[in-house]
Amino acid sequence: MRLAASPEELRRELAGLPRPTVLVPTMGALHEGHLALVRRARQSAGPAGTVAVSIFVNPIQFDRPGDLAAYPKPLARDLEQCEAAGVDLVFAPEAAAMYFPDRSITVSESLLSRHLCGATRPGHFDGVCTVVLKLFNLFQADAAVFGEKDVQQLAILRRMARDLDLPVEIIGHPTVREPDGLAMSSRNVRLSPEHRADAPRIRRALEGARSLLQFGERSAAPFLAAARKHLEDSPFLRIDYLELVDAETLQPVSPIKRPAVLAAAVFYGDVRLIDHVTLPP
């Protein structure tokens, strides 16, 4: 496995590696969810292609300095996991190698980012779009794999690829969960034992609300009320948002006539977790 710490090193390493190049952009603190993305990347690249992983805790997508500072950075362990998973190339730069002090170019999205995380994390998706576009360019990636857990991120990156005519295939991969249903996230390790035990409630609240479909329910309010009730029964969590949005436009919708997404973000202490379920119409 090759390792690059700067754009220059990355270009040098890439020159000796065969196309197609399939990238898995991560912020490190790798877990089974990331490894599933790596396997999906290998499937897309083929045995002879290149599977690349970027590990970069991107400062410009963090809206809360504390969240950035507390983000886990177990680099040695991440590299071991990549090696064991058959990754060909890891790019793990410092922030100074990615951003000039006088950087002034931003890629922004103005529609799909209005709700959900976009509403409660100002500038977050500008930071995501900008860094992902940089990574696509640095790797000259042919395809990239992202987790469906970050449903809004995936929709926005697909939109970026479409609107900027990027020559990159965007591949979504289903959310990987813990045995108790909690969506895997690098932030889970920061939960206290009590909070960790309570957190599968997020998934149950969303799944429970979804079951209203079988009674023919189509207006948004009952879904939101059911999910909110179950979330608010927790003595620990605080709801950041709970929204029911169109699956394509990510705008609030009622009644449900096309595929929709019921999505939540909650705080356990200062740890923020997200999850969602899709609602077929």
Q: Which of 272, 274, 275, 250 minimizes the C-alpha distance to 63?
A: 272
Burial class (CB in 10 A: 0-12, 13-18, 19+), 20: middle
230 catalytic residue (yes or no): no
* Positions in 5-34 near a copy of itself (CB under 8 A): 7
130 touches a copy of itself (CB under 8 A): yes
102 touches a copy of itself (CB under 8 A): yes
133 touches a copy of itself (CB under 8 A): yes
105 touches a copy of itself (CB under 8 A): yes
Report the residue number, 101 or 179, with the smaller CB distance to a copy of itself: 101
164 touches a copy of itself (CB under 8 A): yes
What strands, in cross-sheet order, belong to the sheet with 2-4? 2-4, 89-91, 50-55, 21-26, 143-147, 169-173
Report the residue number, 69 or 105, with the smaller CB distance to a copy of itself: 105
- Look up residue 208 and give its amino acid: G
Q: Which of 200, 199, 201, 222 minimizes the C-alpha distance to 279?
A: 222
Question: Rounded to 10 degrees, what is the CA torsion of 161, 163, 167, 169?
Answer: 30
Structure tokens at 87: 């990754």
Q: Which of 34, 115, 173, 195 is catalytic?
A: 34
Figure out which of the listed residues 6, 43, 44, 140 binds a copy of itself, where binding follows CB under 8 A: 140
CB of 51 to a copy of itself, least distance (A): 20
For a copy of itself, which stretch binds (CB under 8 A), given 164-172, 186-194, 218-226, 227-235?
164-172
CB distance 228 to 240 below 8 Å: no
Report the residue number, 6 or 43, with the smaller CB distance to a copy of itself: 6
Looking at residue 177, what DSSP letter applies? B
Q: Count CA atoms closer than 13 A to 42's CA, side-chain side.
A: 12
167 touches a copy of itself (CB under 8 A): yes
Q: Count CA atoms closer than 13 A to 174's CA, side-chain side.
A: 4
CB of 12 to a copy of itself, least distance (A): 14
Figure out which of the listed residues 34, 42, 121, 134 binds a copy of itself, where binding follows CB under 8 A: 134
d(CA 140, CA 117): 28
CB of 126 to a copy of itself, least distance (A): 9
76 touches a copy of itself (CB under 8 A): no
Q: For residue 22, what are the β-bridge partners?
A: 51, 143
For a copy of itself, which stretch binds (CB under 8 A), given 157-165, 189-197, 214-222, 263-271?
157-165
d(CA 218, CA 242): 17
Figure out which of the listed residues 159, 203, 210, 272 binds a copy of itself, where binding follows CB under 8 A: 159
Figure out which of the listed residues 166, 176, 182, 205 binds a copy of itself, where binding follows CB under 8 A: 166
Known catalytic residues are 34
Q: Which residues bind a copy of itself (CB under 8 A)?
A: 7, 99-100, 102-112, 129-130, 133-134, 137-138, 140, 159-160, 162-167, 249
